[in-house]
Amino acid sequence: MSGNHACAEGAIAAGCKFFAGYPITPSTEIAEYMSRRLPQVGGHYLQMEDEIGSIAALIGASNAGVKSMTATSGPGFSLMMENIGLGVITETPCVIVNVQRAGPSTGIPTLIGQGDMMQVRWGSHGDYEVIAFSPNSVQEMFDLTIKAFNMAEKYRTPTFLMADQVVAHMTSKLVVPPLEKIQVVNRKKPVKSNSNYLPFDYSQDYPPMAVAGDGFHINVDSLTHDERGYPTLRNDDSQRMLDHLTGKIRNHLDDIVEVEHYLTEDADVIIVAYGSTSRSALRVVKEARQAGKKVGLLRLITAWPFPSKEIERLGASAKAMIVPEINYGQIEHVVREYAGCPVTGVPHAAGALIPPEKIYAALEGL
């Protein structure tokens, strides 16, 4: 199966019943596939007039109680940023898939890029945290889509799958477990007898979520609000709300953050990579080991929240780190912040996967 189709099947396995989107290369196959599959499982598909309408419909559907997803790429992702902030402040669970392509602007629509890694973290204004996964295989397009839904539902927040054109369009074996063995998380619902229900209870990292029609009095507003959801100008209310929005992610890093180690235990040099780039990096590690060089790979499955503890731990014993990525240095900057050892970036222009030889040359140059 292709990566994009595996993503769609992962969403359905997670309980997705609503997709709103606008066609954009190289993510369009997700929308096309969902347009056929969702009606078969009692779901609904809407092609919207643009990406702004898509993310707005997503937030509305989720507040009506339905697990929701959209898929887009660079320019469409930029258009979604304001309403992503709306999803954050209203604590609305949903999944946004970004199949990254070459940029900036229209760039090369059909070829790979990894230039949206900082945008997903900082693209919408204000203070907040995000959860973003970076798959490197068809299998992970399926598995991490399910995990993205689970994290969105548990933590009441928009969650991202930061794929790229290569992993989205590659075709590979996909193992789908029996449905009863797939872990599916659903949002917490308030107890109907609770007359003092607070839709944004800041005393809980992830409070129960009442939706339209449940019989609770709720107010969903884009303004800074108190625990009842009503707009406020008080600085102490703003403090409590922002502490809550950031804290519900920061307080649960061990539950969210996921990385993969390959021969890092005795490595003098650690390659830090994610997405399709990690496939080139793995080839480099294997060749370097054959040549007697102590090189390991730390693959970022969770890009955000950033796995800073792992970088600090490995940096304490490593002599150097190398960060290859298909941009001109984004995750490299975050690695530098925590590594505690020299960091070498391997920037690569969007439009092609990084060849292993380019990473190996950086290794040789240390």
| Predicted pLDDT at 214 | 86
Q: Is the pLDDT of residue 193 over 80?
A: no
Q: How far is CA 108 from the centre of its chain?
A: 22
Tens of pLDDT, residues 92-118: 999 999 999 999 999 999 999 999 999
Task: Give the angle subtended at the CA of 194 by the CAs of 252 and 57, to the nearest 5°.
Answer: 60
Average pLDDT value for residue range 36-62:
97
The pLDDT, as a whole number, for residue 14 is 98
Choose between 192 and 110: higher pLDDT: 110
- Model confidence at 123: pLDDT above 80: yes
Average pLDDT of the residues in 121-137: 97
Residue 187: per-residue pLDDT: 96
pLDDT digits (tens, 9 = 90+) for 212-227: 888 898 899 999 999 9
CATH of segment(s) 259-364: 3.40.50.920
Name the nearest CA neighbour of 88 among 53, 129, 52, 116: 129
| 147 pLDDT tier (thresholds 50, 70, 90) | very high
Comparing 208-212, 276-280, 348-352, which segment has the lowest mean pLDDT? Answer: 208-212
Which pair of tokens denotes residue 140?
């992970």
CA angle, 276 as apex, 271 and 280 as ends, to 5°? 50
- Residue 189: CB partners within 8 Å, gap ≥ 6? 208, 209, 210, 214
Across the range 17-41, mean pLDDT stands at 98
Query: Would the pLDDT of 28 be above 80?
Result: yes
| pLDDT at site 215 | 87
Q: Which amino acid is at 110?
A: T
Give residue-wise pLDDT tens across range 230-269.
999 999 999 999 999 999 999 999 999 999 999 999 999 9
Q: Which fold has domain 1-256?
A: Rossmann fold (3.40.50)
The overall average pLDDT reported for the chain is 97
Structure confidence at residue 149 (pLDDT): 98
What strands, in cross-sheet order, belong to the sheet with 131-133? 44-47, 18-21, 68-72, 94-100, 158-164, 131-133, 302-304
How does pLDDT run across 282-325, given as a tens digit for each residue?
A: 999 999 999 999 999 999 999 999 999 999 999 999 999 999 99
Of 249, 239, 259, 255, the residue nearest 311 (C-alpha)? 259
pLDDT higher than threshold 90 for residue 185: yes
Domain ranges of the chain: 1-256, 259-364
Confidence bin at 191 (pLDDT 50/70/90): confident
Give residue 365's pLDDT.
96
* Assigned token pair, 101: 């392509």
| Adjacent-strand bridge partners of 272 | 298
pLDDT for 48: 97
Task: Check whether 163 has a pLDDT greater than 90.
Answer: yes
In this prediction, residue 128 carries a pLDDT of: 97
In the numeric block, the tokens 């100008």 are attached to 233
Which pLDDT score, from 0 to 100, does residue 196 have?
Answer: 85
Contact residues for 36 (Cβ-Cβ < 8 A; gap 6+)? none
Question: Is-same-fold flag (1-256; 259-364)?
Answer: yes
For residues 286 and 271, what is the distance between their CA atoms, to the nearest angstrom? Answer: 12
Report the C-alpha gap between 306 and 349 in whole angstroms: 23
